[in-house]
Structure 1
Amino acid sequence: MGKKEKNEKAKERREKRLQEIQLLRSIPYSHHQRWWSKETIAVVTGGNRGIGFEICRQLATHGLTVVLTSRDASAGAESIKVLQEDGFDVVYHQLDIVDDSSINQFVEWLQESYGGLDILVNNAGVNFNLGSDNSVENAYKVIKTNYYGIKNLTQVLIPLMKPSAVGARIVNTSSRLGRLNGRRNRISNVELRDQLSDLEVLSEELIDRTLSAFLQQVEDGSWTSGGWPQIYTDYSVSKLAVNAYTRLMARKLSERPEGQKIYINCYCPGWVKTALTGFAGNNTVEEGADTGVWLALLHDQTVMGSFFAERREINF
């Protein structure tokens, strides 16, 4: 089978799966499945547009109280207005995930207003490459936002996550571009891949060292021969770090007693038509948000530290 035929077969499988998901989305959750209520608080970062906005809309459709956050307060206010005019229970608070002062103000407000949260969707992220571009000019900002922003916010919000019989939820928006063992776009250093794959070895220090090595090579210009992903390099490395951190946190959070469980997973929304991709994607925002919302609302939550796409677990 030639490359063209393989691509066509893959496209057919993807379209069939998206049709199956569309059907699943049309089936209402049963009373037994609906563990949440209006008192369930879901925080979504980067919620003013694109996938984040659609995640807010879908969660609100299911009757949760959604806290939409964004770095730009005016953009967030406009987004909230649209959702509230449609009758959704959504509130807004400014949040810049790379600004400690902004995080602290948000945490204080969330504690005073709702006493905590039940669901955290880490969706905020940046990408400066469009089309076939692969500049790492903004690598520091990409890594700081897409990885360290998620990590820092998650760590300060975990103590605010409410205990419950079904468990709190953390969903990290990631990407297949950051897969360790994908056939394409993976890091070529086999030893490093093995270390990042091994949960016994994996640590925040290892992730940080990996990112520091990448950024040092960006600074001295040697990154092109450093064995890093070949497309969307800085974005891919940042999402590789998110995936590794998700697995690491799952190991730590699994030790929590019953009633205080926090389930953390990540997912790839696919190549979605949003500003992040220059509107060059092939998935709609509804399709891109679906798996994240599905993970957040799973009733019989048993998976932890896994990677999903189109409601199916995939390999890291």
Structure 2
Amino acid sequence: MGKKEKAKERREKRLQEIQLLRSIPYSHHQRWWSKETIAVVTGGNRGIGFEICRQLAAHGLTVILTSRDATAGGESIKVLQEGGLDVVYHQLDVIDNSSINHFVEWLHENYGGLDILVNNAGVNFNLGSDNSVENARKVIEINYYGTKNLTESLIPLMKPSIVGARIVNVSSRLGRINGRRNRISNIALREQLSDVDCLSEELIDGTLSAFLQQVEDGSWASGGWPQIYTDYSVSKLAVNAYTRLTARKLSERPEGQKIYINCYCPGWVKTALTGFAGNNSVEEGADSGVWLALLLDQTVMGKFFAERREINF
């Protein structure tokens, strides 16, 4: 049996283990949440975001499903509510400051804050073997800046508790700094991004600015950037770096006011984002995100996960 076959076999075995774990209900002592626990999910009208909303609501939390398109969001919410789930809807465009401000005010007035934030909203304009960077600026604006701006706006509203609030960023292995495939070739930059003590918003934003400048002048292909889904990969590289940077900042919060932030890769999921060409179901893709959001023992912070296991950045 070759390496690929062995890897596939290990992965299939792991997915079977997770499926078994998902079938076992949380015990009483594991259920730190209640109906009063508020979870906000962005990009929740379809795909992984919709499934995360469904699973969290099925576990008994109050879920606020958000999406840019109010019509699509309204239709999605009906499906969940008809299934007896406690889910409410509010329009939210993560790259529109006025939309974010309006949502923050509404959330504060109606719920007093939130306990869980799942940053799922994201876009990808390449399907199959396509690798155009025509929409690179939009991809980075939504996937990275949207995630960052919303997170910074909602951190002040995260409720204090003994178990801590949680932020889960939906990311991708494609954005790994030191992955064997698809990594940036600039060794010095990789080392800077790998060193959490050196991480800063200036470094992350500067990396994105350099990439977008090369996109504009046409030199990106020889610039050492990821060669597969380039703009999407760079945007998720930034999300991963931001997760680690924010974890460092949040680690200084006192007990009772802790906020735990991590990111995860859902895998190649059969959704509109992949042209429904993935090999994971939405249930499998949402699983690690829901698991992270509900994990009782939140000793992990600023980590990257896939299939309920930590992986390297």
Q: Same fold (TM over 0.5)?
A: yes
- Aligned match of 2:270 in 269, 273, 276? 273
Give 1:60 shift: 0.3
- Aligned match of 1:295 in 292, 297, 304? 292
Letter of the aligned partner of 1:91 in structure 2?
V
Give 1:225 shift: 0.2
Distance in structure 1 (CA, Å) of the matches to 2:291 and 2:210? 36
| Structure 2 residue aligned with 1:45 | 42
| Structure 1 residue aligned with 2:147 | 150
Distance in structure 1 (CA, Å) of the matches to 2:273 and 2:94? 17
| Structure 2 residue aligned with 1:28 | 25
Letter of the aligned partner of 2:209 in structure 1?
S
| Structure 2 residue aligned with 1:222 | 219
Q: Any idea what the Cα deviations from partners look like across 1:31-67, whole Å, max 9, x if unmatched?
A: 0000000000000000000000000000000000000
| Structure 1 residue aligned with 2:75 | 78
Letter of the aligned partner of 2:152 in structure 1?
Q
| Structure 2 residue aligned with 1:161 | 158
Give 1:84 shift: 0.1
Give 1:9 shift: 1.3
Distance in structure 2 (CA, Å) of the matches to 1:129 and 1:14? 26
Give 1:8 shift: 1.4
- Aligned match of 2:192 in 190, 195, 200? 195
- Aligned match of 1:282 in 261, 271, 279? 279
Letter of the aligned partner of 1:40 in structure 2?
T
| Structure 2 residue aligned with 1:261 | 258
Matched, 1:116 2:95: no
Distance in structure 2 (CA, Å) of the matches to 1:235 and 1:93? 27
Q: Any idea what the Cα deviations from partners look like across 1:195-245, whole Å, max 9, x if unmatched?
A: 000112110000000000000000000000000000000000000000000
Give 1:310 shift: 0.1
Give 1:19 shift: 0.3
Give 1:145 shift: 0.2
Ranges in structure 2 where 5+ consecutive residues have no aligned partner? none
What number of residue pairs does the alignment pair up? 313
Matched, 1:106 2:103: yes
Letter of the aligned partner of 2:81 in structure 1?
Q
Distance in structure 2 (CA, Å) of the matches to 1:123 and 1:197? 24
Ranges in structure 1 where 5+ consecutive residues have no aligned partner? none
| Structure 1 residue aligned with 2:57 | 60
TM-score (norm 2): 1.00
Distance in structure 2 (CA, Å) of the matches to 1:146 and 1:232? 13
Distance in structure 2 (CA, Å) of the matches to 1:243 and 1:199? 11
Identify which range, 197-206 or 121-130, moves more after superposition.
197-206
| Structure 2 residue aligned with 1:127 | 124
Runs (4+) of structure 1 moved beyond 2 Å?
A: none
**SS of the residue 1:92 aligns to:** strand
Identity %: 88
Distance in structure 1 (CA, Å) of the matches to 2:58 and 2:122? 24
Distance in structure 2 (CA, Å) of the matches to 1:100 and 1:252? 23
* Aligned alpha-carbon RMSD (Å): 0.6
